[in-house]
Chains A and B, each alone.
Chain A
Amino acid sequence: MKTLETSSIGKAIDRIDGRLKVTGMAKYASEFPVENVVYAQGVTSTIAKGKITSIDVTEAEKQKGVIKVITYKNAEKLKESDEKRPAFTLTSVAPVLQSPEIHYYGQYVACVVAETFEQAQYACRLVKVTYEEDKPDIDLDKNRSKAFKPDDQADYSRGDVDAGMQSSDVTLEATYTTPIEHQHPMELHAAIVSWENGKVKTYASQQILNDAKTAIADTFMISEDNVQIIAAYLGGGFGSKLNVHKHLIMATMASKMIGRPVQITVTRQQMFTNTGMRQFDEQKMRLGANKKGELQALAHHTTSHCATDQMYYEACGNVSKMLYKTPNNAVTHRLIPLNLQVPNSMRAPGEATGSFALESAMDEMAWKLKMDPVEFRIKNDTQRDLGADKPFSSRLLVECLRIGADKFGWSERKMQPRANQNGNWLVGYGVSAASRRAPYRKTSARVIADMRNGEVYATIQMDGTDIGTGSYTIVAQTAAEYLGIPVKNINVELGDSDFPVTPGSGGSWGAASYANGVRVACKNLFSKLKQNAGVAEEDEVALEDLMKSSKVTSYKVVGTAEPSEEYENHSVFSFGANFAEVWVDKDTGMYRIKRMVNVGSAGKILNPKTAYSQIIGGLTMGAGMVIAEQTQVEPHHGNFITRSLADYHVPVNLDLANIDVVFLPEEDKIANEIGVKGIGELGITSVAASIANAIFNATGKRMRDLPITPEKLIEASLEAGV
Chain B
Amino acid sequence: MRPFKYINATTGEQALQAAEQHERAKYLGGGTNLVDLMKEDVEQPDHLIEIADLEYNSIKENKKGGLTLGAVVSNSDTANHPVIRQKYPLLTMAMLSAATAQIRNMATNGGNLLQRTRCPYFYETSMPCNKREPGSGCGAKKGMNAKHAIFGYSDSCVAVHPSDMCVALAALNAEVEVLQINGKTKMMPFEDFHRLPGAQPEKDTNLDKGELITAIHLPQSIYADHYYYLKIRERSSYAFALLSVAAGLQIKNGIIASAGLAMGGVAHKPWKLTKAEQFLKGKSPSEENFQRAATIAMEDAKPLAENGFKVPMGEKAIVRALNQAYNRKV
Known: A587-B320, A649-B239. A122 touches B232 (CB 8 A): no
Contacts of B310 in A (CB 8 A): 711
Is A259 located at the chain interface by the 8 A CB criterion? Answer: no
Tell me if A's interface is mostly helix, strand, loop or mixed. loop
Question: In the bound complex, do residue A588 and residue B317 qualify as a contact, i.e. CB atoms below 8 Å apart?
Answer: yes
Contacts of B41 in A (CB 8 A): 125
Is B123 located at the chain interface by the 8 A CB criterion? Answer: yes
The smallest C-beta distance from A435 to any residue of chain B, in angstroms, reads: 28
**Chain B window 199-242, contacts with chain A (Cβ cutoff 8 Å), 1 for yes, 0 for no:** 00000000000000000000000000000001011111111001
Give B124's nearest chain A residue, CB to CB.
Answer: A639
Give A652's nearest chain B residue, CB to CB.
Answer: B237
Is A651 located at the chain interface by the 8 A CB criterion? Answer: yes
Contacts of B126 in A (CB 8 A): 46, 637, 639
Q: Which of B123-147 contact A (CB under 8 A)?
A: 123-124, 126-127, 139, 142-144, 146
**Chain B window 1-45, contacts with chain A (Cβ cutoff 8 Å), 1 for yes, 0 for no:** 111000000000000000000000000000000000000010000
Question: In the bound complex, do residue B127 and residue A118 qualify as a contact, i.e. CB atoms below 8 Å apart?
Answer: no
Question: In the bound complex, do residue A634 and residue B316 qualify as a contact, i.e. CB atoms below 8 Å apart?
Answer: no
Our pick among B1, B144, B233, B316 for the contact of A587 (Cβ within 8 Å) is B316
Is A566 located at the chain interface by the 8 A CB criterion? Answer: no
Contacts of B313 in A (CB 8 A): 588-589, 710-711, 714
Contacts of A651 in B (CB 8 A): 235
Is A409 located at the chain interface by the 8 A CB criterion? Answer: no
Question: In the bound complex, do residue B143 and residue A635 qualify as a contact, i.e. CB atoms below 8 Å apart?
Answer: yes
Question: In the bound complex, do residue A707 and residue B234 qualify as a contact, i.e. CB atoms below 8 Å apart?
Answer: yes
Known: A118-B1, A634-B144, A639-B126. A588 touches B230 (CB 8 A): yes
Contacts of B2 in A (CB 8 A): 122, 125
Known: A121-B1, A122-B2, A125-B2. A643 touches B235 (CB 8 A): no
Question: In the bound complex, do residue A711 and residue B124 qualify as a contact, i.e. CB atoms below 8 Å apart?
Answer: no
Is B120 located at the chain interface by the 8 A CB criterion? Answer: yes
Contacts of B239 in A (CB 8 A): 628, 649
Size class of B's contact patch? 20 to 34
Is A647 located at the chain interface by the 8 A CB criterion? Answer: yes
Q: Which of B290-326 contact A (CB under 8 A)?
A: 309-310, 312-313, 316-317, 319-320
Question: In the bound complex, do residue B309 and residue A628 qualify as a contact, i.e. CB atoms below 8 Å apart?
Answer: no
**Chain B window 274-294, contacts with chain A (Cβ cutoff 8 Å), 1 for yes, 0 for no:** 000000000000000000000
Our pick among B236, B237, B316 for the contact of A588 (Cβ within 8 Å) is B316
Question: In the bound complex, do residue A714 and residue B312 qualify as a contact, i.e. CB atoms below 8 Å apart?
Answer: yes
The smallest C-beta distance from A456 to any residue of chain B, in angstroms, reads: 47
Complex formed: what's the CA distance from A126 to B157 in Å?
28
Complex formed: what's the CA distance from A635 to B3 in Å?
34
Our pick among A46, A424, A632, A709 for the contact of B144 (Cβ within 8 Å) is A632
Question: In the bound complex, do residue A589 and residue B232 qualify as a contact, i.e. CB atoms below 8 Å apart?
Answer: yes
Complex formed: what's the CA distance from A170 to B233 in Å?
38
Question: In the bound complex, do residue A628 and residue B234 qualify as a contact, i.e. CB atoms below 8 Å apart?
Answer: yes
Question: In the bound complex, do residue A654 and residue B309 qualify as a contact, i.e. CB atoms below 8 Å apart?
Answer: no
Give B231's nearest chain A residue, CB to CB.
Answer: A590
Complex formed: what's the CA distance from A651 to B235 in Å?
6
Known: A634-B127, A649-B239. A590 touches B232 (CB 8 A): yes
Complex formed: what's the CA distance from A122 to B1 in Å?
5
Q: Which of B232-276 contact A (CB under 8 A)?
A: 232-239, 242
**Chain B window 136-179, contacts with chain A (Cβ cutoff 8 Å), 1 for yes, 0 for no:** 00010011101000000000000000000000000000000000
Our pick among A118, A125, A627, A634 for the contact of B143 (Cβ within 8 Å) is A634
Is A412 located at the chain interface by the 8 A CB criterion? Answer: no
Question: In the bound complex, do residue B235 and residue A628 qualify as a contact, i.e. CB atoms below 8 Å apart?
Answer: yes
Question: In the bound complex, do residue A655 and residue B235 qualify as a contact, i.e. CB atoms below 8 Å apart?
Answer: yes
The smallest C-beta distance from B240 to any residue of chain A, in angstroms, reads: 8
Question: In the bound complex, do residue A637 and residue B309 qualify as a contact, i.e. CB atoms below 8 Å apart?
Answer: no
**Chain B window 34-64, contacts with chain A (Cβ cutoff 8 Å), 1 for yes, 0 for no:** 0000000100000000000000000000000
Contacts of A151 in B (CB 8 A): none
Question: In the bound complex, do residue A715 and residue B143 qualify as a contact, i.e. CB atoms below 8 Å apart?
Answer: no
Contacts of B144 in A (CB 8 A): 632, 634-635, 641
The smallest C-beta distance from B303 to any residue of chain A, in angstroms, reads: 11
Contacts of B242 in A (CB 8 A): 709-711
Question: In the bound complex, do residue A122 and residue B3 qualify as a contact, i.e. CB atoms below 8 Å apart?
Answer: yes
Contacts of B320 in A (CB 8 A): 424, 587-588
The smallest C-beta distance from B20 to any residue of chain A, in angstroms, reads: 27
Could you list some 15 contacts between A and B, CB below 8 A? A46-B126, A587-B319, A634-B139, A636-B142, A639-B126, A641-B124, A642-B120, A643-B123, A646-B238, A654-B236, A654-B237, A707-B234, A710-B242, A710-B313, A711-B310
Chain A to chain B: the 7 pairs with minimum beta-carbon distance, closest first: A654-B236, A46-B126, A641-B120, A711-B309, A628-B234, A587-B316, A652-B237
Binding site for A on B (CB under 8 A): 1-3, 41, 118, 120-121, 123-124, 126-127, 139, 142-144, 146, 230, 232-239, 242, 309-310, 312-313, 316-317, 319-320
